[in-house]
């Protein structure tokens, strides 16, 4: 199964590849070392069209197939940037499109998709991770201000949270009900508590923040509807994982053709060939599962099981393939001079973010036993 990408989307994907070659890959080490992207990256992403992929196609967005391809390409240049772009599109832009009122869409969408307003998505809390329903952050209606709530609580592990001007916050509206809110960070009730430094994707500005009667604007939706955006979101993380795996595999193949030991190239040694062949098969399988999930989404079919399958398989593939790529590079694979060590560290996030592998297995099992 190969993706049918619309000609206009092919042109967009050519632009993405050019952007990755010129503006992303050359900076990936620098961004990691400075633990942050350059500020101008957001408007550049906007210019390329990478922040409006989550809009409906007739309003300038792209198909899910093209979205996954774009994230895969971005991840080959910088996985942390791919993760940010994936979350912005699938969980923030798509949220405002699906649940925002016309007034909210009018106020935010143009600036968010141009990169002028930076955004994040806040679900996770110290006591609510895989079990998202444990969210303790509370939202209470403000008397006399229809649609506005006072929000109090704490969020952690929020991607781009340190830079965000606007965050989609999941909060509790009653003992049993949760919903989502748009919250501007430039207000007294919002406190950035700490930057969270991670072993991989470290250019991503991951933070913990506190909310103390911060004002949030309700986007009318049920918890299940807001969380339902994670199904396409997981395809984005799968795209990130496939991109990481592809890049690491390409580097391992190249290195194995150049390095000689025992008067032979590494790629002529059977044990190395086994590693290369296993990676080739797994990368191909992961790409096909990703494409299948994207195609089903574009056909309007359910993807609950398929997005979990794609995410689970491609994230575990990314971890195996990057591990083999380091092994094939030997000692050099553990040094900062070779990109495989970074890809190896970046790959870990794909097994944890937007639902760890154990949760994906749970979703798949539930779907086939219901
Ligand atoms: C770099 C990074 C960026 C992130 N960005 C965001 C973001 O932008 N917004 C956001 O809201 N969150 C974000 N997260 C949070 C992420 O989604 C959570 O870390 C993830 O859902 C797991 O939650 P937890 O870390 O609390 O682990 P826990 O829920 O405590 O789980 C720990 C481990 O227990 C096991 N486990 C848990 N539940 C089960 C189960 N039911 N069955 C079997 N095993 C289980 C798994 O092995 C799991 O890895 C980010 C995390 C990281 C590391």
Task: Give me the residue spans of the domains in the chain.
Answer: 7-114, 119-222, 226-369
Take atom 26 of ligand 1 and give the residue whose Cα is closest: 129
Task: Establish whether domains 7-114 and 226-369 are of one fold.
Answer: no
**Ligand 1 contact, 201 CB (< 6 A):** yes
pLDDT score of 5: 83
pLDDT in tens, 324-363: 999 999 999 999 999 999 999 999 999 999 999 999 999 9
pLDDT score of 6: 84
* H-state helical runs in the chain: 7-19, 28-33, 41-48, 64-77, 79-87, 94-99, 102-114, 223-228, 230-258, 270-298, 304-329, 339-350, 357-369
> Which ligand 1 atom is nearest residue 87's CA?
8
Q: Which of 280, 337, 354, 358 is catalytic?
A: 354
pLDDT score of 2: 57
pLDDT score of 3: 66
Q: For the domain bounded by 226-369, which CATH number is listed? A: 1.20.140.10
Residue of 157, 202, 205 with the most ligand 1 atoms within 8 Å of its CB, for mutation: 157
Could you say which residues of the chain have pLDDT below 50? Answer: 1
CATH class of residue range 7-114: mainly alpha
pTM value?
Answer: 0.97
pLDDT score of 7: 86
**Ligand 1 contact, 124 CB (< 6 A):** yes
Give the C-alpha separation, 78 to 342, whole Å.
10
Per-residue DSSP letter, 203: T
pLDDT score of 243: 98
**Ligand 1 contact, 79 CB (< 6 A):** no
Give the C-alpha separation, 94 to 49, whole Å.
15
pLDDT score of 44: 98
**Ligand 1 contact, 196 CB (< 6 A):** no
CATH class of residue range 119-222: mainly beta
Residue 140 designated active-site: no
């Amino acid at each position: 199964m190969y993706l049918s990408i619309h000609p206009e989307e092919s042109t967009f994907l050519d632009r993405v590849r050019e952007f990755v070659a010129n503006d992303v890959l050359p900076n990936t080490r620098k961004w990691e070392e400075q633990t942050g992207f350059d500020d101008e990256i957001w408007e550049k992403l906007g210019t390329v069209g990478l922040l409006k992929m989550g809009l409906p196609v007739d309003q300038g967005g792209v198909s899910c197939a093209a979205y996954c391809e774009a994230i895969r390409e971005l991840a080959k240049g910088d996985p942390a940037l791919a993760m940010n772009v994936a979350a912005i599109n699938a969980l923030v832009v798509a949220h405002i499109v699906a649940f925002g009122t016309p007034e909210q869409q009018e106020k935010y969408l143009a600036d968010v998709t141009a990169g002028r307003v930076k955004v994040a998505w806040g679900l996770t809390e110290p006591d609510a991770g895989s079990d998202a329903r444990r969210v303790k952050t509370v939202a209470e209606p403000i008397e006399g201000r229809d649609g506005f709530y006072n929000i109090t609580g704490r969020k952690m592990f929020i991607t781009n949270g340190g830079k965000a001007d606007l965050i989609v916050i999941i909060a509790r509206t009653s003992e049993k009900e949760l919903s989502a809110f748009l919250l501007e960070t430039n207000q007294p009730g919002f406190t950035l508590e700490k930057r969270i430094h991670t072993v991989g994707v470290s250019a991503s500005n991951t933070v913990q923040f506190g909310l103390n009667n911060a004002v949030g604007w309700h986007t009318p939706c049920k918890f299940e509807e807001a969380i339902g955006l994670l199904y396409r979101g997981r395809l984005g993380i799968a795209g990130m994982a496939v991109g990481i795996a592809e890049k690491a595999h390409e580097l391992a193949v190249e290195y194995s053709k150049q390095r000689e030991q025992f008067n032979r190239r590494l790629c002529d040694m059977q044990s190395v060939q086994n590693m290369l062949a296993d990676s080739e098969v797994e990368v191909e399988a992961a790409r096909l599962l990703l494409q299948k999930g994207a195609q089903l989404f574009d056909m309007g079919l359910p993807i609950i099981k398929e997005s979990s399958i794609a995410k689970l398989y491609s994230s575990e593939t990314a971890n195996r393939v990057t591990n083999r790529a380091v092994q094939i590079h030997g000692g050099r694979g553990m040094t900062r001079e070779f990109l495989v060590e970074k890809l190896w560290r970046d790959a870990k996030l794909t097994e944890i973010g937007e639902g760890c592998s154990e949760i994906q297995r749970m979703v798949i099992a539930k779907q086939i036993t219901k």
